[in-house]
Amino acid sequence: MKQKIMSGMRPTGKLHLGHYLGVIDNWVKLQDEYDCYFSVADWHALTTKYDKTETLRQDTIDVVMDWLACGIDPDKSTIYVQSLVPETAELHIYLSMITPQNWVERDPTLKDMAKILKTKEGMGTQVNYGLMGYPVLMTADILTFNADLVPVGIDQVAHVELTRDIARRFNNIYNTDFFVEPQPKLNNCSLICGLDGNKMGKSFNNDIKISDTEEITAKKVMTAITDRSRMRKDDPGHPDECEVAFKYWKIFGTENEVETVRCECEKGLRGCADCKRQLGKKINERMSDIRERRKYYEEHPEEVEKIIREGSEKARKDAQKILAEVRKLVRMY
Protein backbone atom coordinates (compact mmCIF):
# COMPACT_ATOMS: atom_id res chain seq x y z
CA MET A 1 0.00 0.00 0.00
CA LYS A 2 1.13 3.50 -0.81
CA GLN A 3 1.81 5.88 2.04
CA LYS A 4 -0.73 8.64 2.48
CA ILE A 5 -0.08 12.32 2.08
CA MET A 6 -2.37 15.12 3.20
CA SER A 7 -1.90 18.82 2.72
CA GLY A 8 -4.00 21.90 2.36
CA MET A 9 -4.16 25.52 1.39
CA ARG A 10 -6.48 28.31 2.37
CA PRO A 11 -8.75 29.64 -0.36
CA THR A 12 -6.95 32.92 -0.94
CA GLY A 13 -8.06 33.23 -4.57
CA LYS A 14 -5.77 33.24 -7.58
CA LEU A 15 -2.39 31.82 -6.59
CA HIS A 16 1.02 33.24 -7.47
CA LEU A 17 4.40 31.90 -8.56
CA GLY A 18 5.44 31.52 -4.93
CA HIS A 19 2.63 29.00 -4.43
CA TYR A 20 3.51 27.24 -7.67
CA LEU A 21 7.27 26.94 -7.10
CA GLY A 22 7.17 26.58 -3.32
CA VAL A 23 4.21 24.26 -2.83
CA ILE A 24 2.18 23.00 -5.78
CA ASP A 25 5.11 21.84 -7.88
CA ASN A 26 6.23 19.75 -4.90
CA TRP A 27 2.77 18.23 -4.63
CA VAL A 28 2.71 17.41 -8.34
CA LYS A 29 5.89 15.37 -7.95
CA LEU A 30 4.44 13.36 -5.04
CA GLN A 31 1.34 12.18 -6.86
CA ASP A 32 2.69 8.94 -8.31
CA GLU A 33 4.52 7.72 -5.27
CA TYR A 34 1.86 8.52 -2.67
CA ASP A 35 -1.85 8.41 -2.12
CA CYS A 36 -2.48 12.17 -1.91
CA TYR A 37 -5.27 14.26 -0.40
CA PHE A 38 -5.22 17.97 -1.18
CA SER A 39 -7.70 20.18 0.60
CA VAL A 40 -8.93 23.71 0.05
CA ALA A 41 -9.20 24.67 3.71
CA ASP A 42 -12.28 26.88 3.65
CA TRP A 43 -12.96 26.45 7.37
CA HIS A 44 -9.43 27.69 7.99
CA ALA A 45 -10.30 30.80 6.00
CA LEU A 46 -13.20 31.41 8.39
CA THR A 47 -10.88 31.48 11.41
CA THR A 48 -9.91 35.02 10.43
CA LYS A 49 -12.25 36.03 7.61
CA TYR A 50 -15.62 34.87 8.91
CA ASP A 51 -17.05 38.29 8.04
CA LYS A 52 -15.65 38.39 4.49
CA THR A 53 -17.20 35.40 2.82
CA GLU A 54 -18.52 37.05 -0.35
CA THR A 55 -15.62 35.78 -2.43
CA LEU A 56 -15.06 32.49 -0.59
CA ARG A 57 -16.74 30.33 -3.21
CA GLN A 58 -14.94 31.89 -6.18
CA ASP A 59 -11.65 31.91 -4.26
CA THR A 60 -12.04 28.18 -3.68
CA ILE A 61 -12.71 27.55 -7.37
CA ASP A 62 -9.71 29.70 -8.34
CA VAL A 63 -7.41 27.68 -6.09
CA VAL A 64 -8.60 24.40 -7.58
CA MET A 65 -8.22 25.78 -11.12
CA ASP A 66 -4.64 26.77 -10.34
CA TRP A 67 -3.89 23.32 -8.89
CA LEU A 68 -5.31 21.60 -11.94
CA ALA A 69 -3.43 23.94 -14.26
CA CYS A 70 -0.16 23.21 -12.46
CA GLY A 71 -0.64 19.48 -12.86
CA ILE A 72 -2.49 18.19 -9.80
CA ASP A 73 -4.30 15.30 -11.43
CA PRO A 74 -7.74 14.36 -10.10
CA ASP A 75 -7.25 10.83 -11.43
CA LYS A 76 -4.21 10.39 -9.20
CA SER A 77 -4.93 12.60 -6.19
CA THR A 78 -8.00 13.39 -4.15
CA ILE A 79 -8.81 17.08 -4.51
CA TYR A 80 -11.47 18.23 -2.07
CA VAL A 81 -13.04 21.14 -0.22
CA GLN A 82 -12.67 20.90 3.53
CA SER A 83 -16.24 21.90 4.39
CA LEU A 84 -17.61 19.21 2.06
CA VAL A 85 -16.08 16.64 4.39
CA PRO A 86 -17.98 17.25 7.64
CA GLU A 87 -16.31 14.19 9.19
CA THR A 88 -13.34 16.48 9.73
CA ALA A 89 -15.50 18.73 11.92
CA GLU A 90 -16.64 15.74 13.94
CA LEU A 91 -13.08 14.59 14.43
CA HIS A 92 -12.16 18.13 15.40
CA ILE A 93 -14.64 17.86 18.29
CA TYR A 94 -13.14 14.63 19.64
CA LEU A 95 -9.63 16.01 19.32
CA SER A 96 -10.56 19.31 20.95
CA MET A 97 -11.74 17.40 24.02
CA ILE A 98 -8.34 15.84 24.59
CA THR A 99 -6.08 18.75 23.63
CA PRO A 100 -4.78 20.69 26.64
CA GLN A 101 -5.44 24.39 26.29
CA ASN A 102 -1.79 25.31 26.79
CA TRP A 103 -0.80 23.18 23.77
CA VAL A 104 -2.71 25.51 21.46
CA GLU A 105 -1.78 28.63 23.39
CA ARG A 106 1.91 28.09 22.78
CA ASP A 107 1.43 27.78 19.01
CA PRO A 108 3.81 30.32 17.43
CA THR A 109 1.73 30.99 14.28
CA LEU A 110 -1.30 31.66 16.41
CA LYS A 111 0.61 34.15 18.52
CA ASP A 112 1.66 35.99 15.34
CA MET A 113 -1.88 35.99 14.02
CA ALA A 114 -3.22 37.38 17.27
CA LYS A 115 -0.64 40.15 17.12
CA ILE A 116 -1.58 41.06 13.53
CA LEU A 117 -5.28 41.04 14.39
CA LYS A 118 -4.70 43.46 17.24
CA THR A 119 -3.11 45.99 14.84
CA LYS A 120 -6.23 46.04 12.65
CA GLU A 121 -9.33 48.08 13.26
CA GLY A 122 -12.94 47.16 13.72
CA MET A 123 -14.40 43.67 13.41
CA GLY A 124 -12.20 40.67 13.76
CA THR A 125 -9.61 42.22 16.01
CA GLN A 126 -10.05 39.78 18.84
CA VAL A 127 -9.03 36.15 18.90
CA ASN A 128 -12.12 33.98 18.58
CA TYR A 129 -12.61 30.47 19.90
CA GLY A 130 -12.40 29.07 16.35
CA LEU A 131 -9.07 30.74 15.69
CA MET A 132 -7.66 29.29 18.91
CA GLY A 133 -8.66 25.86 17.64
CA TYR A 134 -7.03 26.35 14.25
CA PRO A 135 -4.06 24.05 14.92
CA VAL A 136 -6.47 21.38 16.17
CA LEU A 137 -8.57 21.80 13.03
CA MET A 138 -5.45 21.28 10.94
CA THR A 139 -4.73 18.20 13.04
CA ALA A 140 -8.24 16.96 12.26
CA ASP A 141 -7.57 17.49 8.52
CA ILE A 142 -4.52 15.29 8.71
CA LEU A 143 -5.93 12.60 10.98
CA THR A 144 -9.21 12.40 9.03
CA PHE A 145 -7.21 10.38 6.52
CA ASN A 146 -4.63 8.99 8.92
CA ALA A 147 -1.94 10.49 6.69
CA ASP A 148 1.69 9.40 7.07
CA LEU A 149 3.28 12.53 5.65
CA VAL A 150 2.35 16.19 5.52
CA PRO A 151 4.15 18.40 2.97
CA VAL A 152 4.40 21.85 4.51
CA GLY A 153 6.54 24.94 4.59
CA ILE A 154 8.83 25.56 7.54
CA ASP A 155 6.21 27.83 9.16
CA GLN A 156 3.77 24.93 9.49
CA VAL A 157 6.14 22.33 10.95
CA ALA A 158 5.13 23.21 14.51
CA HIS A 159 1.54 22.31 13.61
CA VAL A 160 2.54 18.88 12.39
CA GLU A 161 4.45 18.41 15.66
CA LEU A 162 1.24 19.26 17.49
CA THR A 163 -0.59 16.77 15.29
CA ARG A 164 1.84 14.09 16.40
CA ASP A 165 1.33 15.03 20.04
CA ILE A 166 -2.45 14.93 19.72
CA ALA A 167 -2.38 11.63 17.81
CA ARG A 168 -0.20 10.10 20.54
CA ARG A 169 -2.46 11.44 23.27
CA PHE A 170 -5.55 10.02 21.57
CA ASN A 171 -3.85 6.66 21.26
CA ASN A 172 -2.90 6.71 24.95
CA ILE A 173 -6.27 7.80 26.24
CA TYR A 174 -8.26 5.30 24.19
CA ASN A 175 -5.69 2.58 24.50
CA THR A 176 -5.10 2.11 20.80
CA ASP A 177 -2.51 2.55 18.09
CA PHE A 178 -5.08 3.65 15.54
CA PHE A 179 -3.67 7.04 14.67
CA VAL A 180 -0.39 7.27 12.80
CA GLU A 181 1.94 9.98 14.07
CA PRO A 182 2.46 11.86 10.81
CA GLN A 183 5.79 13.33 9.74
CA PRO A 184 6.25 16.77 8.22
CA LYS A 185 7.77 16.65 4.75
CA LEU A 186 9.49 19.94 4.08
CA ASN A 187 8.74 21.49 0.71
CA ASN A 188 12.01 21.94 -1.11
CA CYS A 189 11.39 25.58 -1.55
CA SER A 190 13.17 27.42 -4.29
CA LEU A 191 11.60 30.37 -2.56
CA ILE A 192 10.87 33.16 -4.96
CA CYS A 193 10.69 36.66 -3.54
CA GLY A 194 8.21 39.32 -4.60
CA LEU A 195 8.97 41.91 -7.30
CA ASP A 196 9.95 44.39 -4.57
CA GLY A 197 12.31 41.97 -2.84
CA ASN A 198 9.98 41.15 0.06
CA LYS A 199 8.13 37.88 0.50
CA MET A 200 5.79 37.32 -2.45
CA GLY A 201 2.21 37.81 -1.33
CA LYS A 202 -1.15 38.83 -2.66
CA SER A 203 -1.60 41.59 -0.10
CA PHE A 204 1.79 43.15 -0.84
CA ASN A 205 0.93 43.73 -4.47
CA ASN A 206 4.30 42.31 -5.50
CA ASP A 207 3.25 39.01 -7.00
CA ILE A 208 2.97 37.42 -10.42
CA LYS A 209 -0.10 35.23 -10.61
CA ILE A 210 -0.14 31.82 -12.20
CA SER A 211 -3.14 33.11 -14.17
CA ASP A 212 -1.64 36.46 -15.25
CA THR A 213 -1.48 36.99 -19.01
CA GLU A 214 1.85 37.22 -20.81
CA GLU A 215 1.40 40.97 -21.19
CA ILE A 216 0.72 41.53 -17.52
CA THR A 217 3.60 39.27 -16.55
CA ALA A 218 5.97 41.16 -18.86
CA LYS A 219 4.83 44.47 -17.40
CA LYS A 220 5.18 43.30 -13.82
CA VAL A 221 8.67 41.91 -14.44
CA MET A 222 9.77 45.34 -15.64
CA THR A 223 9.10 46.62 -12.10
CA ALA A 224 11.42 44.04 -10.52
CA ILE A 225 14.17 45.59 -8.45
CA THR A 226 17.68 45.33 -9.90
CA ASP A 227 21.14 46.47 -8.81
CA ARG A 228 20.25 49.76 -7.16
CA SER A 229 23.75 51.19 -7.55
CA ARG A 230 23.52 51.05 -11.32
CA MET A 231 22.74 54.35 -13.07
CA ARG A 232 23.43 53.86 -16.78
CA LYS A 233 23.11 50.72 -18.83
CA ASP A 234 26.84 50.56 -19.60
CA ASP A 235 27.82 50.84 -15.93
CA PRO A 236 29.23 47.53 -14.78
CA GLY A 237 26.48 45.76 -12.81
CA HIS A 238 26.61 43.52 -9.74
CA PRO A 239 24.34 40.52 -10.33
CA ASP A 240 24.72 39.35 -6.75
CA GLU A 241 23.35 42.65 -5.56
CA CYS A 242 20.60 42.62 -8.15
CA GLU A 243 17.88 42.05 -5.62
CA VAL A 244 15.14 40.49 -7.68
CA ALA A 245 15.82 40.19 -11.40
CA PHE A 246 18.98 38.09 -11.13
CA LYS A 247 17.38 35.84 -8.51
CA TYR A 248 14.53 35.23 -10.93
CA TRP A 249 17.06 34.41 -13.66
CA LYS A 250 18.48 31.71 -11.40
CA ILE A 251 15.02 30.19 -11.08
CA PHE A 252 13.82 30.51 -14.66
CA GLY A 253 17.00 30.48 -16.77
CA THR A 254 19.27 27.59 -17.72
CA GLU A 255 22.75 27.48 -16.20
CA ASN A 256 24.23 28.83 -19.43
CA GLU A 257 21.77 31.67 -19.61
CA VAL A 258 22.49 32.66 -16.01
CA GLU A 259 26.23 32.72 -16.73
CA THR A 260 25.69 34.84 -19.84
CA VAL A 261 23.54 37.29 -17.89
CA ARG A 262 26.18 37.47 -15.16
CA CYS A 263 29.07 38.12 -17.59
CA GLU A 264 27.25 40.69 -19.67
CA CYS A 265 25.91 42.46 -16.59
CA GLU A 266 29.34 42.63 -14.95
CA LYS A 267 30.91 44.00 -18.10
CA GLY A 268 28.22 46.62 -18.58
CA LEU A 269 27.09 45.00 -21.81
CA ARG A 270 23.51 44.46 -20.69
CA GLY A 271 20.97 47.07 -19.73
CA CYS A 272 18.52 46.25 -16.97
CA ALA A 273 15.47 47.00 -19.12
CA ASP A 274 16.59 44.57 -21.83
CA CYS A 275 17.57 42.06 -19.21
CA LYS A 276 14.11 42.14 -17.66
CA ARG A 277 12.39 42.02 -21.04
CA GLN A 278 14.21 38.75 -21.71
CA LEU A 279 13.44 37.51 -18.24
CA GLY A 280 9.74 38.17 -18.75
CA LYS A 281 9.86 36.02 -21.88
CA LYS A 282 11.55 33.20 -19.94
CA ILE A 283 8.90 33.26 -17.25
CA ASN A 284 6.14 33.29 -19.84
CA GLU A 285 7.71 30.32 -21.62
CA ARG A 286 7.87 28.33 -18.42
CA MET A 287 4.26 29.14 -17.52
CA SER A 288 2.76 28.79 -20.98
CA ASP A 289 1.42 25.21 -20.75
CA ILE A 290 0.09 25.84 -17.27
CA ARG A 291 -1.70 28.97 -18.37
CA GLU A 292 -3.19 27.23 -21.36
CA ARG A 293 -4.57 24.55 -19.09
CA ARG A 294 -5.93 27.16 -16.74
CA LYS A 295 -7.69 28.86 -19.60
CA TYR A 296 -9.25 25.55 -20.53
CA TYR A 297 -10.68 25.15 -17.03
CA GLU A 298 -11.89 28.75 -16.95
CA GLU A 299 -13.84 27.96 -20.09
CA HIS A 300 -15.16 24.71 -18.60
CA PRO A 301 -16.25 25.61 -15.07
CA GLU A 302 -18.63 22.64 -15.03
CA GLU A 303 -15.65 20.30 -15.24
CA VAL A 304 -14.03 22.01 -12.28
CA GLU A 305 -17.27 21.74 -10.34
CA LYS A 306 -17.43 18.04 -11.14
CA ILE A 307 -13.85 17.49 -10.03
CA ILE A 308 -14.54 19.28 -6.74
CA ARG A 309 -17.77 17.32 -6.10
CA GLU A 310 -16.33 13.92 -7.00
CA GLY A 311 -13.07 14.50 -5.14
CA SER A 312 -14.93 15.63 -2.04
CA GLU A 313 -17.28 12.64 -2.20
CA LYS A 314 -14.34 10.29 -2.43
CA ALA A 315 -12.60 12.07 0.45
CA ARG A 316 -15.79 11.80 2.46
CA LYS A 317 -16.08 8.05 1.94
CA ASP A 318 -12.52 7.55 3.11
CA ALA A 319 -13.10 9.87 6.07
CA GLN A 320 -16.24 7.99 7.09
CA LYS A 321 -14.24 4.80 7.49
CA ILE A 322 -11.80 6.55 9.82
CA LEU A 323 -14.59 8.22 11.78
CA ALA A 324 -16.49 4.96 12.24
CA GLU A 325 -13.39 3.59 13.93
CA VAL A 326 -12.89 6.74 16.01
CA ARG A 327 -16.49 6.69 17.25
CA LYS A 328 -15.99 3.10 18.30
CA LEU A 329 -12.76 3.90 20.09
CA VAL A 330 -14.28 6.84 21.98
CA ARG A 331 -17.35 4.64 22.65
CA MET A 332 -19.92 7.01 21.22
CA TYR A 333 -23.49 5.75 20.87
Interaction site with ligand TRP (CB under 6 A): 6-10, 39, 41, 44, 138, 141-142, 150, 152, 156
| Residue 83 DSSP label | G
294 binds, among ligand TRP, ligand SF4, none (CB under 5 to 8 A by kind): none
Evaluate whether 60 touches 42 at the Cβ level (below 8 Å).
yes
How many chain residues bind ligand SF4 (CB under 6 A)?
14
Evaluate whether 125 touches 117 at the Cβ level (below 8 Å).
yes
CB of 19 to ligand SF4, least distance (A): 24
230 binds, among ligand TRP, ligand SF4, none (CB under 5 to 8 A by kind): ligand SF4
Amino acid at site 104:
V
Distance of alpha carbon 94 from alpha carbon 6, whole angstroms: 20
CB of 95 to ligand TRP, least distance (A): 13
6 binds, among ligand TRP, ligand SF4, none (CB under 5 to 8 A by kind): ligand TRP
Residue 150 pairs with which residues in a beta bridge? 184
Residue 183 pairs with which residues in a beta bridge? 149
Q: What character string, x for contact with ligand SF4 (CB under 6 A) and - otherwise, covers 234-263?
A: ---x-x--x--xx--------------x--
237 binds, among ligand TRP, ligand SF4, none (CB under 5 to 8 A by kind): ligand SF4
Distance of alpha carbon 110 from alpha carbon 106, whole angstroms: 8
CB of 222 to ligand SF4, least distance (A): 10
Residue number with CB closer to ligand SF4 (104 or 272): 272
Q: Which of 10, 164, 209, 270 binds ligand SF4 (CB under 6 A)?
A: 270
Residue number with CB closer to ligand SF4 (270 or 291): 270
138 binds, among ligand TRP, ligand SF4, none (CB under 5 to 8 A by kind): ligand TRP
Residue number with CB closer to ligand SF4 (39 or 226): 226
Can residue 95 be called a binding residue for ligand SF4 (CB under 6 A)? no
Residue number with CB closer to ligand SF4 (250 or 327): 250
Q: Helices marked H in the chain — which ranges?
A: 17-19, 25-30, 42-49, 56-70, 87-98, 101-105, 108-119, 129-132, 134-143, 157-173, 214-222, 245-252, 255-266, 272-299, 301-330
Can residue 275 be called a binding residue for ligand SF4 (CB under 6 A)? yes
Window 205-234: residues binding ligand SF4 (CB under 6 A): 226-227, 230
CB of 270 to ligand SF4, least distance (A): 4
141 binds, among ligand TRP, ligand SF4, none (CB under 5 to 8 A by kind): ligand TRP
Evaluate whether 47 touches 130 at the Cβ level (below 8 Å).
yes
Evaluate whether 270 touches 261 at the Cβ level (below 8 Å).
yes
What sign does the dihedral 26-27-28-30 (CA atoms) show? positive
Distance of alpha carbon 9 from alpha carbon 43, whole angstroms: 11
8 binds, among ligand TRP, ligand SF4, none (CB under 5 to 8 A by kind): ligand TRP
Cα–Cα nearest to 187, from 154, 158, 217: 154
Distance of alpha carbon 261 from alpha carbon 11, whole angstroms: 38
Distance of alpha carbon 151 from alpha carbon 153, whole angstroms: 7
Distance of alpha carbon 186 from alpha carbon 163, whole angstroms: 15
Amino acid at site 230:
R
Residue number with CB closer to ligand TRP (144 or 226): 144
10 binds, among ligand SF4, ligand TRP, none (CB under 5 to 8 A by kind): ligand TRP
| Contact residues: ligand SF4, CB under 6 A | 226-227, 230, 237, 239, 242, 245-246, 261, 265, 270, 272, 275-276
